[in-house]
Amino acid sequence: MTRLAALGGAIVISFSAVFYALSGVDPVSGTFFRLVYALPVLFLLWWIRRGDDQRPLRSRLMAFVAGLIVALDLITWQTSIDYIGTGLATLLANLQVVIVAVVAWLILGEVPSRGLKVAIPIVLFGVALVSGVGQADAFGDDPILGTVFALVAAVLYAGFLLIYRQSNRIQAPPAGPLLEATTGAVVMTLLVGWIGPDIDFTPSWPAHGWLVALALGGFLTGWLLISYALPRLPAAETSTFILIQPALTMVWGAMIFSERPSTLQLWGAVIVLAGVAFVAVAQTRSQPTVPDEPALETGQR
Q: Please give the full DSSP string across 181-232, using - where no structure is assigned.
A: HHHHHHHHHHHHHHHSSPP--S--TTHHHHHHHIIIIIIIIHHHHHHHHGGG
What is the Cα–Cα distance from 247 to 7, expressed in whole angstroms?
13
* First vs last C-alpha separation in the chain: 23
> In this structure, what are the phi and psi dihedrals at residue 132, rounded to the nearest 5 degrees?
80, 15
Task: Look up residue 142 and give its DSSP letter.
Answer: S
The structure's pTM equals 0.89
CB 38 within 8 A of CB 182: yes
Query: Which structural domain, as residue segments, surrounds residue 96?
Result: 2-298
Task: Print pLDDT tens along the chain (301 aa).
Answer: 777 877 888 889 899 999 999 999 999 999 999 999 999 999 999 999 888 888 888 989 999 999 999 999 999 999 999 999 999 999 999 888 788 778 777 776 777 677 777 888 899 999 999 999 889 899 999 999 999 999 999 999 888 888 887 777 766 677 888 899 999 999 999 999 999 888 988 878 899 999 999 999 888 888 777 766 666 666 556 666 667 889 999 999 999 999 999 999 999 999 998 888 777 776 665 554 444 444 444 455 6
Number of structural domains found in the chain: 1
